[in-house]
Structure 1
Amino acid sequence: MDRRKFLSATGLGAVALGAASTSVGAAPKTAAPAAKGGPAKFKLGCQSAPFDDEHFAFFARYGVRNCSSSAKILDPGRIYPTVDELKTLTDMGDRHGVSVDMVDSVLLTSSHIDREKNPAIMLAQDPQRDRDIEAFQTLIRNCAAAGIPAVKYNMSILGVLRSGKVKGRGDSEYLAWNLAEAKPPTPLTRAGVVDADRFWERITYFLDRVAPVAKEYKVKIACHPQDPGVPPSGYQGVDRVLGTIDGLKKFITINENPYHGLNFCQGTVSEDLRDPGTEIFDVIRYFGNRKKIFNVHFRNIKGHRDNFAEVFPDEGDVNFLEAIKVYKEVGYDGMLMPDHVPEVPGKPEARLENFAFAYGYIRGLIQAADHLA
């Protein structure tokens, strides 16, 4: 499906754009300058599950040598992995030549708050909020002891919002978001009305207690943007303050230190832009030059803020070759990983096939970046 037909079929060309700011400083650029010589510092990664020997072998088969993973917590009443549980995970990776560079947390996931098992931090529920923050601090300390350099997390109430699916390439289908057609299941979540001030208070409360621990133990904490952004008036009563570029710029200044930054989902950031094909490069520069990109979800979209679909990496509106040149330009040294790969109805095994396609595509771009001058 070419871009013109896709836009016509999904209404992407007609939707009104949101009012959220997308300023990033310098004027948008449509391409990166010539990349610096020498090998790129970034590497192919992945975060797909399950995290067992078979899946680590799958990583290794396609040249994935670095990953973000999840440790198995043996005690169902505990909300953080022990050092031994983390080492069990890294040992599994070592057996297959795959380095565990990042882990996630049972807390602060990307789930909707009405389905979240541990909601206290985002609901500001004391005293459980402080107990959960202590568990997150323990995770940081345990990662330091186990030699895992980073933790990823979300500060989300609405989870990942999508309004439906559209037909994709071949027999695949793509998840899509069209704000004009979205129908929330309830007017409000159990969080009630959460305006910008309330959301920033909860973010600041968490960072004031966690960012200093990350700095002390030299473990990076990488926050995922809210996916996608919504108008300031909110969706289900929630103003997603981390769903704009200006919001992310403010976020990295709260309790700023070298270990507090972003799980930079390029797909989500593109969803927050009016013209991602031209604007994304300076967004990468803004956060990359400040060394606030700790991990990259390297996925593509067709469309723009308030109306888009998630597509294969080679067919979206963002030129990935230009993007990877910018990551090299800013000296990014973390993982580039696929995320939200398209699905095929009735064929669950196609998910792994589509990940394999994305690995090969990204690996080829990385090898090209090594030789571009």
Structure 2
Amino acid sequence: MEMSFRWYGNDDPVRLEDIRQIPGMKGIVSAIYNIPVGEIWPIEEIKELKKAVELHQFKLNVIESVPVHEDIKLGLASRDHYIEKYKTTLRNLSRAGIKTVCYNFMPVFDWTRTSLNAPLSDGSHSLSYDEETIKKLNPISGELTLPGWDLSYQSDQLNDLMNKYKEMTEDELMDHLIYFLEQIVPVAEEEDMKLAIHPDDPPWSVFGLPRVVTNRKNVETLLNSVHSKANGLTFCTGSFGALPENDLLSIIEIATDRIHFVHARNVKWTGAKSFQETSHSIHDGSLPMVEVMKKLVQSGYEGPIRPDHGRMIWGEEGRPGYGLYDRALGATYLNGIIDTCKSIE
């Protein structure tokens, strides 16, 4: 597998030269963050990002993410306009030599947590989610803002957007996703690219919004509806695994040849639809990380994998979930499992 690391560009407090010192690190996962959602990514800026990564002897192996405009998710008449721009961005990425793109289809909000620095018993801090707290929050009030959220909306715009989704069923949102895929997958095929949809995080409705990439059934639907190797999955252990009913090994089985990217992290279930992120170790979280990695190795997966959200440890301060130290520990832990599984085979 290509052990990789998420990097947020020159503004990231974690430097490429620091990442370079992590044993076995091969790839960088990044994006261009200054372009408004729905606009075309200029090939010049893509090449500039790629050059910065390659100067440190890394491969820019995944773009995470090319955001999907809300008009596409809502199925509005204007969606075709934004889909055409999305196609152009895919072509520009391909021509710059980037062949794997991660994206998500979560309405309005990206990944959601209720705390960015919840304490753990070992003295570290991590991201956590509490369902009862979410029920008491009003997202329009600005009580909660998180990395990854589009904060460009004014409160009245956000309110209007939320209202548009209120009457939408999960089946309708899935239809809009399939329509989107039917348009962009042929472009990905032409460019020999892999599209890897990220599961919803957490994998259930938040703030009353529909979510449709949450379980095995959803994955089967989206993969079978547009049957192409280009139409694939980002297998995120923490997103799927936040819901105890999700069988991670079963999801790997039904998506084996369509998993194009892996996010590996562990979570500890703390209640009904509540969890806290932990170290990657099986001794700290609720997920069977060893069995998951073993299953991926047995399936023949050799693509990019990255240690996902890490704790803040040893006094480090930085982007919540994206510090250097714990993700470095996670990468080493994962590589140890992978090496052991391969040596046994």
Take 1:248 and 1:322, find their aligned partners in 2: how far apart are those partners? 20
1:315-330 matches, cutoff 5 A:
315-330=284-299
| 2:259 is aligned with 1:306 | no
CA offset digits 1:282-313 (Å, max 9, x no partner): 2222211xx11110000111128612211110
| 2:326 is aligned with 1:354 | yes
Name the SS for the 1:351 alignment partner.
coil
1:129-140 matches, cutoff 5 A:
129-140=79-90
- Contact 2:212–2:218 (Cα < 8 Å) also in 1: yes
Name the SS for the 1:348 alignment partner.
coil
| 2:66 is aligned with 1:66 | no
Name the structure, 1 or 2, with higher relative contact order (CA <8 Å, separation 6+).
1
Shift of 1:345: 11
Shift of 1:259: 0.6
- Contact 1:270–1:305 (Cα < 8 Å) also in 2: no
What's 1:191 paired with? 164
Q: Residues 345 and 121 (structure 1 numbering): CA distance in 2 closer, same or farther, change over 3 Å?
A: farther
1:165-244 matches, cutoff 5 A:
166-183=118-135, 184-185=137-138, 189-193=162-166, 194-230=168-204, 234-244=205-215
Counterpart of 2:76 (choices 125, 131, 136) is 125
Shift of 1:190: 4.0
TM-score normalised over the length of structure 1: 0.76
Which ranges of structure 2 fall in alignment gaps of 5 or more residues? 141-158
Name the SS for the 1:151 alignment partner.
strand
Counterpart of 2:223 (choices 252, 263, 271) is 252
Q: Residues 56 and 344 (structure 1 numbering): CA distance in 2 closer, same or farther, change over 3 Å?
A: closer
What's 1:49 paired with? 8
TM-score normalised over the length of structure 2: 0.81
Take 1:305 and 1:250, find their aligned partners in 2: how far apart are those partners? 26
Counterpart of 1:294 (choices 242, 260, 276) is 260
Shift of 1:341: 1.2
Shift of 1:244: 2.2
Name the SS for the 2:328 alignment partner.
helix
Shift of 1:102: 1.3
Take 1:80 and 1:59, find their aligned partners in 2: how far apart are those partners? 29
Take 2:80 and 2:251, find their aligned partners in 1: how far apart are those partners? 34
| 2:339 is aligned with 1:367 | yes
Shift of 1:177: 2.5
Shift of 1:359: 2.2
Take 2:193 and 2:6, find their aligned partners in 1: how far apart are those partners? 18
- Contact 1:260–1:292 (Cα < 8 Å) also in 2: yes
Q: Residues 146 and 185 (structure 1 numbering): CA distance in 2 closer, same or farther, change over 3 Å?
A: same
- Contact 2:277–2:311 (Cα < 8 Å) also in 1: yes
| 2:39 is aligned with 1:79 | yes
